[in-house]
Amino acid sequence: MWVKYAVGWREFFDNETKKEYFQQLLKNIDQQYEQNICYPLKIDIFRLFTLIEPKDIKVVIIGQDPYHGPGQANGLAFSVNAGVKTPPSLVNIFHELKKDLGVNHYASGNLDHWVEEGVFLYNTIGSVVAKTPLSHKDIGWTTFSQNLIIYLNQIRDDIIYVLWGNYAKQYSEYIVNKSNIIKGAHPSPFSYSLFKDQHFFLKINNLLLKNKKKIIEWKM
């Protein structure tokens, strides 16, 4: 199987791979990638799960689906590989990071190091057809993502969840500790007027301190 993950995820994936929906999801992905140009690269769909163990997650930032332009999606929500033009939503995120913490991140849109710091950058729909947002929303990802959030809440009660936009906010029902939820508008240009000046990065770090955890180092 082409699905790869760090050893700490074995319990979760062992359970999911026995379920009919997950087996069908993988078949759907295989079919979609054979018939269409899809993103990210198939080997990168579950890359996030190779970069961090469940026990090391401090913050979950929930995205919708991957960037649908060529060379953009890399398996992490909002992230692009170094050298790729920074998408508008990520530019807006960097604007707020600079205002909140004085961190200048504009040189690279690669957010792998955020994951290394404990930030789980998760797209609830893990794949997409080129130039067709939400094209894979009905192939099984919703069930997988619901089960993932439920699992994380069963094993941990101290994870902070950042829900940007109405789509992400739907997942609040699966989060047990409501005091660890930070909600806001989506950082896309269409809703940036509501996203800006909400001090999300300060709120995340302050909540980590309140929970007696080390803050995230957001710089490159």
Question: Which residue among 44, 65, 100, 112 is the active-site one?
Answer: 65
Contact 77, 161 (CB under 8 A): no
Is 80 exceeded by the pLDDT of residue 1? Answer: no
Kindly list the distances between the CA atom of residue 83 and the CA atoms of 41, 70, 76, 109, 127, in Å, as whole numbers in the listed order. Answer: 17, 13, 16, 8, 22
Is 90 exceeded by the pLDDT of residue 15? Answer: yes
Q: How confident is the model at residue 2 (pLDDT cuts 50, 70, 90)?
A: confident
pLDDT in tens, 92-134: 999 999 999 999 999 999 999 999 999 999 999 999 999 999 9
Report the percent of the chain where pLDDT is more than 70.
100
Is 80 exceeded by the pLDDT of residue 144? Answer: yes
Burial of 181 (0-12, 13-18, 19+ CB in 10 A): middle
Contact 156, 176 (CB under 8 A): no
Is 80 exceeded by the pLDDT of residue 191? Answer: yes
Is 90 exceeded by the pLDDT of residue 220? Answer: no
Catalytic annotation on 65?
yes
Q: Under CATH, what is the fold of the domain 7-210?
A: Uracil-DNA Glycosylase, subunit E (3.40.470)
Q: Other CB atoms closer than 10 Å to residue 102's CB: what's the count?
A: 8
Q: Tell if the pTM clears 0.85, that is, is over it.
A: yes
